[in-house]
């Protein structure tokens, strides 16, 4: 109040699977780590606390829209989409460098500010409930791919964007390559207008991922082969077959090095053409002088 600073407040509601003391301590440590992370593409966290039996996080207030809403506003060019995702990717890379894994990256969890800057938010702040999936009763329908899963689903995240090892993790730890998979699903969807793997439910989705069945794009947008190959590598089933880290993926997606190489090639070709023109001029001048001397003799 004294500083007249507007902040966003996130409340982590208590429920049937409310975290115990150990989970709350881990949540606090994670929020503290994120609060120490200062990066232009990550929402700044100011404070974490508890009030009325609820855990709250106070963070930067951003004037803008979610990346999902930004994509839906109007048709976006390939370069425009890639540039926005590169910003989000840099935020993920910065978090990974600080030892944080997002676990639920999707277009709804990134904000495009009115200033054009992208901020990633919700870095696994509710991961205290992460346990092995509970078996469903016989005949129970598979979870909706678009439905966020929380404590009642025994998984955190949104299945349509989750890496297969996250869905089937059990007690196994996850690393940053799970975020890389989610990032590639989101960017693929933004470029092609559909997700890379078909599947109306969780089982079919996981089967398509395990088989590497990336469906052929039906959109008319021309996506450069370089981008598609970079995404396909990030979407591989085995984490060790993906890019080694987000920085490597972003370098493969960034069009600027390729453009710089084209400009350099253009300069070389222009210089070579200039040399040819000058050489042709000199040759013509020499021939003309020789002809003149013969006539004079």
Q: Which residues are catalytic?
A: 104
Contact status, residue 235 vs residue 184, Cβ threshold 8 Å? yes
Q: In terms of C-beta density within 10 A (0-12 exposed, 13-18 middle, 19 or more buried), how is residue 151 classed? A: middle
SS3 199: coil
Burial code (b: 16+ CB inside 10 Å, e: under 16) for 243-258 equals bebbebbbebbebeee
Find where tokens 């702040």 sit. 125
Q: In terms of C-beta density within 10 A (0-12 exposed, 13-18 middle, 19 or more buried), how is residue 60 classed? A: middle
Contact status, residue 111 vs residue 163, Cβ threshold 8 Å? no
Can you read off the two tokens belonging to residue 34?
């994120």
SS3 231: helix
Contact status, residue 45 vs residue 35, Cβ threshold 8 Å? yes
- How far, in Å, are 171, 205, 216 from residue 202 at the CA level? 19, 5, 20
* H/E run at residue 60: strand 54-60
Contact status, residue 208 vs residue 199, Cβ threshold 8 Å? yes
Can you read off the two tokens belonging to residue 188?
């693929």
Can you read off the two tokens belonging to residue 163?
């890496």
């Amino acid at each position: 109040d004294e500083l007249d600073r507007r902040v966003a407040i996130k409340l982590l509601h208590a429920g049937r699977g409310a975290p115990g003391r150990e989970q709350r301590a881990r949540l606090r440590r994670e929020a503290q780590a994120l609060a120490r992370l200062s990066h232009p593409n990550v929402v700044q966290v100011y404070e974490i606390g508890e009030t009325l039996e609820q855990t709250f996080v106070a963070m930067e207030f951003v004037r803008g829209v979610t990346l999902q809403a930004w994509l839906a506003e109007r048709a976006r060019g390939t370069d425009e989409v890639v540039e926005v995702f590169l910003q989000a990717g840099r935020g993920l890379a910065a978090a990974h460098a600080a030892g944080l894994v997002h676990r639920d990256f999707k277009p709804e969890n990134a904000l495009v500010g009115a200033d054009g800057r992208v901020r990633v938010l919700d870095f696994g702040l509710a991961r205290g409930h992460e346990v092995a999936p509970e078996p469903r009763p016989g005949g129970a329908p598979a979870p909706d791919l678009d439905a966020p899963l929380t404590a009642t689903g025994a998984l955190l995240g949104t299945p349509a964007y989750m890496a297969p090892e996250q869905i089937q993790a059990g007690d196994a730890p996850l690393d940053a390559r799970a975020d890389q998979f989610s990032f590639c699903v989101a960017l693929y969807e933004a470029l092609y207008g559909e997700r890379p793997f078909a599947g109306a439910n969780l089982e079919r989705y996981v089967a398509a991922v395990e088989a590497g069945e990336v469906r052929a794009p039906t959109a008319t947008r021309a996506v450069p082969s370089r981008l598609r190959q970079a995404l396909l590598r990030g979407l591989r089933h085995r984490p060790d077959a993906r890019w080694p880290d987000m920085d490597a993926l972003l370098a493969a997606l960034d069009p600027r090095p390729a453009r710089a190489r084209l400009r350099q090639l253009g300069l070389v070709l222009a210089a070579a053409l200039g040399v040819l023109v000058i050489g042709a001029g000199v040759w013509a001048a020499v021939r003309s002088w020789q002809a003149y001397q013969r006539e004079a003799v």
